[in-house]
């Protein structure tokens, strides 16, 4: 089952309830926010009576302008 919860794409095994999935997403989002990281995608797989969670971080890019005096001598 693919869905978006709190703005995060989530793929979850149909054996997990919506309540369980929402709870895990909330907890993971809190933890990652505390660490200054952003969740990009989460996958939940129910295997052998255990929940395997794969978490992918949102890629971050930044553009830094160069000033003319910093580019002197660069070809």
Q: Does residue 50 lie within any of the structural domains? A: yes
Between CA 43 and CA 2 the distance in angstroms is 9
Q: Does residue 75 lie within any of the structural domains? A: no
Instruction: Give the predicted TM-score (pTM) of the model.
Output: 0.72
pLDDT of 7-42, one tens digit each? Answer: 999 999 999 999 999 999 999 999 988 888 888 999
Q: Does residue 38 lie within any of the structural domains? A: yes
pLDDT of 40-65, one tens digit each? Answer: 999 999 889 999 999 999 887 778 88
Q: Does residue 60 lie within any of the structural domains? A: yes
Q: What is the pLDDT of residue 60?
A: 77
Q: Are 41 and 32 in contact (CB under 8 A)?
A: no
| CB neighbour burial string for 21-48, b if at least 16 within 10 angstroms, e if fewer | beebbeebbeebeeeeeebeebebeeee
Question: What's the total number of domains in the chain?
Answer: 1
Range of the domain at 38: 2-70
């Amino acid at each position: 089952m693919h869905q978006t919860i709190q703005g995060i794409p989530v793929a979850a095994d149909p054996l997990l309830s919506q309540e369980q999935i929402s709870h895990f997403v909330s907890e993971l989002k809190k933890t990652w926010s505390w660490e200054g990281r952003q969740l990009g995608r989460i996958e939940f797989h129910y295997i052998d009576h255990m929940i395997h969670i794969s978490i992918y971080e949102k890629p971050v890019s930044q553009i830094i302008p160069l000033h003319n005096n910093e580019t002197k001598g660069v070809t």
